[in-house]
Structure 1
Amino acid sequence: MSDVKELKSDAMEGLNALYRQYSRWLNGRLRAHVDPEQAADVVQETYLRAAPYSAGQIRHPRAFLLRIAMNVVRDESRRRKRRGPSEQITESLDLSEAASQVEVLMMKQVVLTMPPLYREVFVLSRFAGMSYPEIAAARGLSVKAVEWRMSKALQHCVEQLDG
C-alpha cells in the first residue's frame, strides 16, 4: 500500500484552478521578500500543502494561500537554524523575518485602502488595543457606531484579501 493519496478528479481540477488563479499573485508577494527561486519553491510547496483541501470550501483563497506560504517560509527558517551556525552564515535572508515583513506589508496596504471613517476605529482597536467603549468615549461616538464601523472595516479587509 502506498502512502501517496491520489486526488480525485474534481479535487485536482479545484487545485488546478486555484493554482492558475493565484500562483502569480502569491509569487509576486513572496518575491518582494525572498529571492525569485525561493519564492517559486515556496509557491510550489504551498500548493502541495493546500492539495488536501477542497477549493470549494476555501472562503478566502488569498488569505488561505498566504498563511500556508508564511508557514512554509517559517518551517524552512527553522530547518536552516537546526542545521547549525556554519550554514546560517551563508544564508542571505532570514526567512522568518521576511514572512513577518510580508504580513506587515499586506496589512499596511489593506489599512491604507480603508475609508478613513473605518480606518480610525480599526487602528484604535487592533493596533492601539482600545476597547469599543474606550473608542466611543474618545471619539464621541456610540458603542453601536463603533461596532458598525469596525464591522465595515473588517468587511473591507476580507474584500481586499480576496479581491
Structure 2
Amino acid sequence: MSLSDASQGRFGRHDFDGLYRHHAAWLTARLRRLGVTAVDDVVQETYVRIAPYQARGEIRHPKSLLLRIAINLVAEEGRRAQRQQRHAASTAPWADAPTQTETVLLKQLILKLPQPERDIFMLSRFGGLTNEQIAERLEVSVKTVERRITRALKQVDSQLRR
C-alpha cells in the first residue's frame, strides 16, 4: 500500500495495524472533544468491533465508521448503566430499610397489638405468607385474616400518628 492510499483512508484487507496507526489518535481526540469518559476503552472496543469489516475489506470511509461505532458504544454503555441503576433501585431492599430506632419503635408497636392481630400481622408481613396460607395455617377464614390485618395496620398507623 502506498502512502497516498493511507492518507486517503484506503487500507487493504489485512492492514489493521495501518488503520489503527492512521486513525487512533484522531478518534481519541474526537471522543475527548465530545466529552466521552474512558476514551481509551472506547477506542479499544471500537477497533475490536471494526476488525470484521477490515477483514472483509468493507471499509470505504474509515473515520465515519470508526466514529459511528464509537458513538454507538458510548450510547450502549449509557443504556446499560441506566438499566443497572433502575434494577439496583428496584431490588435494593436496604435502600428503604428502617433505622435501628425505627426498628425498635415498630417492634414495640407490634408487641402492643392483641395476640390474634399480632400473629396474623407477623405471618403476613414478616413470614411472607399469603392471606390464604395464613387462613389455612391458623384454621380461620380468609376474610378473618383480612379483617385482622386491616385492624393491625390501623392500630399501628394510629400509634405512629401520635
- The reply to whether TM is greater than 0.5 is no
Per the normalisation by structure 1, the TM-score is 0.39
Q: Which has the higher contact order (CA 8 A, sep 6+)?
A: 1
- Bigger Rg, which one: 2
